[in-house]
Structure 1
């Protein structure tokens, strides 16, 4: 039930219009025949309308009609207000079990404020009525209640605020509740900003990792795309392995295609532009133009190694044998190019 909260808000609204005296009896009914009686009944109808419009429709239908606003006000208090003893015990239990539990500082502080206001309504501070006290007891009582609120607020915080909580509790005197609330709000904002930055960094790293995996191991063929490198359809230049580099698994696949091509007699060596791992390709070697009669006697030596890079001595020796063997057979073009298919030996292909 939220009767205390509703009654407090209703009292504040009527006091602002100087109408609450009709509810507490301070403004009495004029005598019969008075010129003010008609205005008094008009105000009564207005107050009853305001009160009924603020009540939930489900409860409104169960409330009997009253012609006088004070009668309706007293009826609602008797029906929905809980006596002080059980209500105070209920509020104390709610205060003891009120914890943050993942809520924002603002939401958690709002829950506590509603409980504190209800307790203050049922158990207000005592006021000296003799007029002989000069010790400022009311101010001291208010200060004690303020410190109790600070301890209630800090005790229900989540464990992530333990460091700040211990710092605030150890200060003497205890800081006011509003300052403690502002400090914790700033700490919460700082933690949220750091958490957002960490999340953005994790998402960026994951995206880069996934992009690397997709670009290096996935090849999507498209029948409408045309590769400008090979001048063939089936994939685009952006996904061509000869342009972007060969993945790790491409070594065995390429070797099997080379063997099949040799069997058909139409295999052509791949381009050296690929950057595949565990594979070695011979760079393009230009054989100087020689006159036809002397072509058969030209021999590739170590002096011609300047045109080749990335080969060790053993690989260069094998390449010279291959070129010299091909040179003795003659060629129709003035420049011979060796695109360098992978040799079948493991020390060549890697």
Structure 2
């Protein structure tokens, strides 16, 4: 379209609330966290901040009025711009609210009417919310296993929301600095009071030893440093404990190690062959090849049928699966059991039978 000579084309100034940038879209959400019916106060504050950045806050506050046209008057440039901005803001609000709530909100009116309806329907009021936040602040503690960052973030969220409800005006006189310092000290005490006493009791005492309490940022930084130091120390202690545990286990016993169900059994090691405790496979008398080892010295004791009973028990404990592992056939296994049984019967009447170190089967 060519511009007629001598005619001026009207344009909306970029500084005007009626101005819309060409990149603006109707499917744009103003805030990352949508309104779900329970977070109105935080959501509305975030929406107002976003609209203020776009120079559109005056629309929902009702300061930009709809241009009035007389009957038969052609729509002016300002009227067109206002209609477009109103439609754009309604789309932004719709995209910033969960879809489940769309049916309960009337989007047919102006953006000012929609904003007022949301405020009247979902705003809980200052007094109940302030009481709730104050209670949460008094009960805020670092839970077991909770990081310092998560604990501080929760505190900071409560402080910031309470500040939105504060009716104290900013002071510009000489007392402004002392008021700010007093509020800062109060937050430092609240932060230190909620820390885990077992982990950060010492650093809390050190910070409170000074007559002049440090600022909140400095206290937070020192506690974070203490948390990192404790994490590094714990990792080092775990490595040393694992190394010491490995040193207490004899060579060859780690294969069959079984910790069991009880915590006090964690230092017991088991034989990989018979699964009995306190000996290794090399010294297991349940293995046929170890039956004849170690005659001649050891601990002496007297008892009835000691060796015969032990040998019969060893023979009975040899299963077909164990025999297969040792290369024995089923017939050889039967002969082996009969031989051991006969030897045991011959020795059962010998009251002078000796128990030797190597005869120990590892039984509890």
Place the TM-score, normalised by the shorter chain, in its bin. Answer: 0.5 to 0.7
Q: Contact 2:60/2:112 (CA < 8 Å) preserved in 1?
A: yes
Matches within 5 A, 1:279-298: none
Q: Does 1:187 pair with 2:222?
A: no
Residue 169 of structure 1, CA deviation: 2.2
* Distance change in 2, residues 1:41/1:138 (3 Å): farther
Q: Does 1:18 pair with 2:55?
A: yes
1:119 matched residue in structure 2: 162
1:81 matched residue in structure 2: 123
- TM-score w.r.t. length of structure 1: 0.60
Residue 174 of structure 1, CA deviation: 1.8
Q: Does 1:145 pair with 2:183?
A: yes
Report SS of the residue matched to 1:168. helix
Counterpart CA distance in 1 for 2:51 and 2:242 is 55
Report SS of the residue matched to 1:64. coil
Residue 127 of structure 1, CA deviation: 3.4
* Distance change in 2, residues 1:170/1:17 (3 Å): same
Counterpart CA distance in 2 for 1:36 and 1:150 is 52
Residue 54 of structure 1, CA deviation: 1.4
Q: Contact 2:51/2:57 (CA < 8 Å) preserved in 1?
A: yes
Report SS of the residue matched to 2:128. helix
Counterpart CA distance in 2 for 1:180 and 1:348 is 64
Q: Contact 2:273/2:281 (CA < 8 Å) preserved in 1?
A: no
2:81 matched residue in structure 1: 39
1:30 matched residue in structure 2: 67
1:7 matched residue in structure 2: 44
Residue 142 of structure 1, CA deviation: 2.5
Report SS of the residue matched to 2:76. coil
Counterpart CA distance in 1 for 2:298 and 2:91 is 88
Q: Contact 2:90/2:107 (CA < 8 Å) preserved in 1?
A: no
Q: Contact 1:125/1:141 (CA < 8 Å) preserved in 2?
A: no
- Residue ranges of structure 2 left out of the alignment (5+ in a row): 1-37, 70-74, 256-268, 275-279, 300-352, 360-364
Cα root mean square deviation, aligned? 3.6
Q: Count how many residue pairs are aligned between Structure 1 and Structure 2.
A: 243
Please give the per-residue CA displacement for 1:177-219, whole angstroms capped at 9, x wherever unaligned: 1111111111111111111222233334445545743469635
Counterpart CA distance in 2 for 1:346 and 1:11 is 90
* Distance change in 2, residues 1:141/1:251 (3 Å): same
1:200 matched residue in structure 2: 239
Matches within 5 A, 1:217-228: 218=271, 220=273
Residue 162 of structure 1, CA deviation: 0.8
- Residue ranges of structure 1 left out of the alignment (5+ in a row): 129-133, 222-243, 259-268, 271-276, 280-343
* Bigger CA radius of gyration: 1
- Structure richer in helix, relative to its length: 1
* Distance change in 2, residues 1:18/1:347 (3 Å): closer
Q: 1:167 is matched with which residue: 203, 206, 212? A: 206
* Distance change in 2, residues 1:347/1:86 (3 Å): closer
Residue 170 of structure 1, CA deviation: 2.7
Please give the per-residue CA displacement for 1:231-271, whole angstroms capped at 9, x wherever unaligned: xxxxxxxxxxxxx9953x6699888526xxxxxxxxxx99x
Report SS of the residue matched to 1:45. helix
Report SS of the residue matched to 2:212. coil
1:257 matched residue in structure 2: 292
